[in-house]
Structure 1
Amino acid sequence: MNPNEYKHFYNEVGRLNGWDFSRLNVIVEGEAWNFHDRVTSLCRPGHVLLDIGTGGGEALLAIADSALLLIGIDQSEGMLETAAYNLGRSGKPNVRFLHMNAEQLHFPEAFFNLVTCRHSEFNAKEAARVLTQDGVFLTQQVSEGDKINLKQAFGRGQAWNIKQGILQDRYAAELQNAGFSRVQTFKYDATEYYSSIEDLIFLLKFTPIVPDFGQSDTDFQILHRFIEENQTDQGIRSNSARFMIIAEK
């Protein structure tokens, strides 16, 4: 496949895959945890859960049976339209989606037993305010070394040339300063294989891994070389670097 064909896929891939990242075909080797499994392990039938940066709500709906009430918030109207559609299809009566900024949560103090945030910004003080005294905050974030071979190929990228661990340390310090009594951090760097060119291009188009990807024809030439160099029998190779913080009040 040549660079012009990659460009064609770039223009078509949103229509083919929609916004649902769960539909990406990717094999991950060395993933140390599943974030939502960790969340559900802490859920109890009477719990109320807040999910910050809920996106299209697919992940929240998948764990809806784990708690009494689950509320997902997001700043994007487009994402919330998708979430509302997904909610209607799911038939889950205990899930709500709201348009809200994480910097100012419009909920009473001590309203939630759990607050979660996956790959999204959050405000530590606001999270602490809306949590019950024995509440727990969990977040998973993208580490600086994520998709390192892609960033090296393009010479730019999300958190490019930023020292490893900066974001994790910042978030942990903010949570401690917000009054959480116990803050634990975890991290992993897993190998991943994208099954198809469409999967990789979808990732580049709808995430900030390589800023402004697709605006230059040169990007498709670089992508062509990257795929040739990283194609394996399992798929197109990159890496998934993540950290997780669990903070208890």
Structure 2
Amino acid sequence: MEIMDYKSFYEQAGARNGWDFGNVRVESEGEAWNYAREVASRCGATDALLDIGTGGGELLLGLSGAARALVGIDRAASMVETAKRNAARAGAGNVRFLRMDSDRLRFPDGSFDIVCCRHAPFRASEIARVLMPGGVFMTQQVGEGDKRNLAQAFGRGQHDGASPGAMLRGNLAALRAAGFSELQSSLYDATEYYATPQDLIFLLKHAPIIPDFGEQEEDFAILRRFAAEYGTERGIRTNSERSLIIARKPI
């Protein structure tokens, strides 16, 4: 997806619901970790945490009891407004949200003990700068093989032309160049079962899996054929590929 098209899509998704997929009925098997639990397990009661690409704040608000102060940033104004509304409803007084680009973090050096980033771009040098010595960075990203049968069915996908594992290798190289040590990386390819075509439609309209999904009537015909081909007793089968990096800044 071209960068300007992606930004437009992202703003629209933020205005609709942030990244809240809580109503999508899906079962998964083969997930090697739970990202929220991985982040929470590395937080201390006195820590300050930064969440890059926070969306509607769904992850960060769930972590409000794990750290002293939490800041979520997003480049989309609509996402930040959704996050602020969600925070007000949750009554999370130690969480705040700011509009900011990850390429230029407007925080002093060493501001955070933990920085996390889920399914969003980041700049390794900026992460290293705003982390305290000994601080931890964690990122989960969508792998090139994610939703591969959907991409094949539609003839297009968000990772068209990308080599398997290229993003993970590139992120590891960037973090090493920025001075991070104790780098750990993992990858899983889980199976997902979506309960109905409507659940898949919600996913495809709110996440950039199939570029421009729904703009052509043929997309819905393709989805009907896909649901028939990959339908099982458990639901409509596809896959979820995710990578995880945990990196520590030297003391």
- Normalising by structure 1, what TM-score? 0.91
Aligned to 2:157: 157
- How many angstroms apart in 2 are the aligned matches of 1:188 and 1:238? 14
Tell me if the contact between 1:147 and 1:239 (Cα under 8 Å) persists in the aligned partners: yes
1:46-84 deviation digits (Å, cap 9, x = unpaired): 000000000000111011000000000001111111111
Task: Verify: 1:53 aligned to 2:53, yes or no.
Answer: yes
- How many angstroms apart in 2 are the aligned matches of 1:79 and 1:17? 8
What SS class does the counterpart of residue 245 from structure 1 fall into?
strand
State the shift of 1:183 in Å: 1.4
1:108-160 deviation digits (Å, cap 9, x = unpaired): 10110000000000110000000000000000000000000000101110112
Task: Verify: 1:190 aligned to 2:156, yes or no.
Answer: no
Q: Aligned in 2, Cα 1:54/1:18: closer, same or farther, shift over 3 Å? A: closer
Stretch deviating more after TM superposition (147-156 or 16-25) = 16-25
Matched residues, number: 236
Q: Aligned in 2, Cα 1:18/1:175: closer, same or farther, shift over 3 Å? A: closer
What SS class does the counterpart of residue 22 from structure 2 fall into?
helix
- How many angstroms apart in 2 are the aligned matches of 1:29 and 1:196? 17
- How many angstroms apart in 2 are the aligned matches of 1:31 and 1:73? 27
Aligned to 2:113: 113
What SS class does the counterpart of residue 139 from structure 1 fall into?
strand
Q: Aligned in 2, Cα 1:176/1:15: closer, same or farther, shift over 3 Å? A: closer
Aligned to 2:80: 80
Q: Aligned in 2, Cα 1:43/1:94: closer, same or farther, shift over 3 Å? A: same
State the shift of 1:22 in Å: 2.6
Q: Which runs of 4+ in 1 moved over 6 A?
A: 14-18
Tell me if the contact between 1:17 and 1:23 (Cα under 8 Å) persists in the aligned partners: no
What SS class does the counterpart of residue 64 from structure 1 fall into?
coil
1:148-227 alignment runs, 5 A limit: 148-227=148-227
- Structure 1 vs Structure 2: percent identity of aligned residues? 54
What SS class does the counterpart of residue 133 from structure 1 fall into?
strand
What SS class does the counterpart of residue 72 from structure 2 fall into?
strand
Tell me if the contact between 2:15 and 2:82 (Cα under 8 Å) persists in the aligned partners: no
Q: Aligned in 2, Cα 1:16/1:111: closer, same or farther, shift over 3 Å? A: closer
Aligned to 2:34: 34
Tell me if the contact between 1:74 and 1:80 (Cα under 8 Å) persists in the aligned partners: yes
Stretch deviating more after TM superposition (71-80 or 215-224) = 215-224
Unaligned runs of 5+ in 1: 1-13
One-letter amino acid of the counterpart of residue 23, structure 1? N
1:116-135 alignment runs, 5 A limit: 116-135=116-135
Tell me if the contact between 2:18 and 2:56 (Cα under 8 Å) persists in the aligned partners: no
One-letter amino acid of the counterpart of residue 239, structure 1? N
Tell me if the contact between 1:72 and 1:98 (Cα under 8 Å) persists in the aligned partners: yes
- Normalising by structure 2, what TM-score? 0.91
- How many angstroms apart in 2 are the aligned matches of 1:17 and 1:80? 11
Aligned alpha-carbon RMSD (Å):
1.6
Q: Aligned in 2, Cα 1:17/1:171: closer, same or farther, shift over 3 Å? A: closer
Q: Aligned in 2, Cα 1:93/1:231: closer, same or farther, shift over 3 Å? A: same
Tell me if the contact between 2:19 and 2:55 (Cα under 8 Å) persists in the aligned partners: no
Stretch deviating more after TM superposition (166-175 or 216-225) = 216-225
Q: Aligned in 2, Cα 1:16/1:137: closer, same or farther, shift over 3 Å? A: closer
State the shift of 1:16 in Å: 9.8
Unaligned runs of 5+ in 2: 1-13
Q: Aligned in 2, Cα 1:198/1:18: closer, same or farther, shift over 3 Å? A: farther
Stretch deviating more after TM superposition (212-221 or 173-182) = 212-221
1:224-246 deviation digits (Å, cap 9, x = unpaired): 10011111111111000000001
State the shift of 1:221 in Å: 1.3
Stretch deviating more after TM superposition (66-75 or 219-228) = 219-228
